[in-house]
Amino acid sequence: MAIKTIKTKNFSWYYLTDFSTEELNFLKNNFKFHPLDLKDCAGEIQRSKIDSYNNYLFSVFQLPVLDRSKSKVSVNQVYFFLGKNYLVTVSKDKIKPLNNLFYKI
């Protein structure tokens, strides 16, 4: 399972860098996210958006990534669930700037 966690007294960041069945089950078992949000995480690339719920915000962002070896820019999609005392980030691949931020914290 590709879930890394930073926990403090009042806040936790769950950093998922591979979205497989195990990660999906982790989110279903530990959070009460809307099923459509979980479906978005497992689906195709979509437009950026922010959905507001009573107990969390769900957002989708597209981050450009430069592949220097191919001289090509591709898009990595990142999903954010932000609640009162947690942040969950989901991506299908490791995204270097997000990965660096996680390990600096």
Q: Which tens digits make up the pLDDT trace of 13-22?
A: 999 887 788 8
DSSP string, 11-74: -EEEEESS-SHHHHHHHHHH----HHHHHHHHS-----EEEE-SSEEEEEEEEEEEETTTTEEE
What's the predicted TM-score (pTM) here?
0.86
CA distance linking residue 105 with residue 90, whole number of Å: 17
Helix, strand, or coil here: 85? coil
Q: List the structure tokens of 51.
A: 């959905």
Q: What does the pLDDT look like over 34-92, one tens digit per residue?
A: 999 999 988 777 889 999 999 999 999 988 888 888 889 888 889 999 999 999 999 88
